[in-house]
A and B are shown apart, each in its own frame.
Chain A
């Protein structure tokens, strides 16, 4: 009887652990091309015309913090801002009368699926964008797409559209697991 109880408890514990470590991330078909799984790819990003002369703006700061957050959480792809020429753009737009926080457009090769470049935007017209950490959350989410992460609707993740953007504003464990899996 005691052995049966221990066996049942063990099975329950194993199932709980499996649930706790289950990944929710989704991956897009595109990715950056790295020379090897252990290498680091350095990618340069340029400020768009709405952000290049306002580095102190909420959205520019959001992007800067998001770049730093992503760079410190994984070693596969490192982003840097540059004043030199680059097709990778960080910018803002002003969309009124919609709850959209931002968007990311990725251009990738149809055959190899390797990313050529991307453009990430955060919406200055969203009425929540000036609230604490919201711009940073939106920027981190869009950069997540540039790495090849897809959207989620559940879980503690920057890629979750259901997240509280004032509380979840940095890449979470699930997001980082997704990037690591994508570039293994």
Chain B
């Protein structure tokens, strides 16, 4: 009887300690998943509609990095609690297809959110001819009007640049530069 009670106490203690162990570090069992809401286009007309400028040109130089997350009371100050890295590149404009601006502009790309690379980010290739659909932001920078906003320009045809599977599928048929210019004209826009 005594041996039975002793065994029972040992069994109870073993199970109790196992339960304590499982709750010691709950954070170690947690997966962290972040998803974002941003505008996605399935056709060229939607991107044209959202753009302040549409330019042909090339990235020429990496300019700087900065914290895109700002103090809501003064955007000249960074958000002290959030770091979202933006990479800014200098872009040489050969031609404005829509809108007006300088021949050298700054284009911001969201690079990392708290250290994790954004799924949309594509490292610009310097010297490669591209068409960009941009909106005007603060600090004299432009940024992508929506996803996608970058197209490689080769032999007068645009090929989409995107990491998003559905976007690549929607834009798999390349559009010619003349077709784009015509589409811009049809929307009542002009350079």
Interface residues of A (CB under 8 A from B): 28, 30, 50, 92-111, 116, 124-125, 127, 138, 141-142, 145, 150-151, 153-154, 161-162, 165
Contacts and interface: CB of A to CB of B under 8 A. Distances in A.
B33 A106 contact: yes
A97 B38 contact: no
Nearest to B110: A98
B33 A98 contact: no
Interface in B61-106: 68-72, 75, 79, 82, 84, 86
B52 to A, nearest CB: 10
Given A111-B29, A125-B70, A102 B167 contact: no
A99 B144 contact: yes
Nearest to B86: A97
Interface string B29-45: 11111111111111000
12 contacts: A30-B31, A93-B79, A95-B68, A97-B139, A99-B143, A103-B37, A106-B33, A107-B32, A110-B31, A111-B29, A145-B35, A153-B167
B185 interface: no
B30 A109 contact: yes
A124 B145 contact: no
Nearest to A117: B30
Contact of A161 (B30, B39, B71, B110): B39
A124 B74 CA distance: 12
B37 A100 contact: yes
A142 B37 CA distance: 7
Contact of A151 (B35, B72, B86, B138): B35
Report whether over half of chain B's contact residues are helix, strand or loop; otherwise say mixed: strand
B146 to A, nearest CB: 6
A30 B110 CA distance: 27
A138 B75 contact: no
B40 A161 contact: yes
Contacts of A151: 35
Contacts of A96: 68, 70, 75, 137-139
Given A93-B79, A96-B68, A154-B42, A105 B34 contact: yes
Contacts of B147: 99, 161
B72 A100 contact: no
Q: What interface size band does chain B fall in?
A: 35 or more
B114 to A, nearest CB: 9
Interface of B: 26, 29-42, 46, 68-72, 75, 79, 82, 84, 86, 108, 110, 113, 135, 137-139, 141-147, 164, 166-167, 170
Instruction: List the 5 closest pairs (A to B, CB-CB), nearest first.
Output: A97-B137, A161-B40, A153-B166, A101-B37, A97-B108
A106 B32 CA distance: 6
Contacts of B32: 105-107
Contacts of B170: 153
A60 B141 CA distance: 29
Nearest to A128: B39
Given A106-B33, A109-B29, A99 B39 contact: yes
Contacts of B46: 162
A50 B39 contact: no
A145 to B, nearest CB: 5
Most buried by B among A93, A97, A109, A151: A97
Given A93-B79, A99-B143, A161-B38, A108 B110 contact: no
A98 B143 contact: yes
Nearest to A108: B31
